């Protein structure tokens, strides 16, 4: 992955993390930095999953990839919220 690809993944990860958090109902007890970290991880993992499924590179907007990334971010935010809530 080139530096421009990494920078883009970070920027998209921020957006993905926020969207993943917005998908979840109720209030989450994690901070903004954790949301961004989960979003970056979901963006990178979601891109790999989309590539494996063959939906990463399409003509136009890659809606399948976006949905996978947002879904993974929502799962990550919910899991982290649940783990922090147990402490």
Model confidence pLDDT, tens digit, residues 36-70: 899 889 888 988 898 899 887 778 777 888 889 88
The pTM of this model reads 0.81
Establish how many alpha carbons lie within 13 A of residue 47's alpha carbon, considering only the half-sphere containing its beta carbon.
14
Give ∠ CA 22-9-57 in degrees, rounded to 5. 95
Confidence grade of residue 75 (pLDDT, cut at 50, 70, 90) = very high
Alpha helices in 3-62 (DSSP H): 3-23, 32-53
Share of the chain above pLDDT 90, in %: 8
Who's near 74: CB < 8 A, 6+ residues apart? 20, 21, 23, 24
Structural contact between residues 47 and 56, judged by C-beta atoms closer than 8 angstroms: yes
């Amino acid at each position: 992955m080139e530096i421009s690809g990494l920078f883009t993944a970070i920027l998209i990860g921020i957006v993905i993390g926020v969207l993943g958090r917005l998908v979840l109902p109720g209030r989450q007890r994690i901070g903004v930095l954790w949301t961004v970290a989960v979003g970056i991880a979901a963006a990178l993992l979601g891109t790999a999953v989309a590539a494996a499924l063959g939906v990463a590179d399409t003509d136009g907007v890659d809606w399948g990839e976006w949905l996978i990334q947002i879904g993974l971010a929502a799962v990550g935010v919910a899991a982290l919220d649940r783990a922090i809530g147990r402490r």
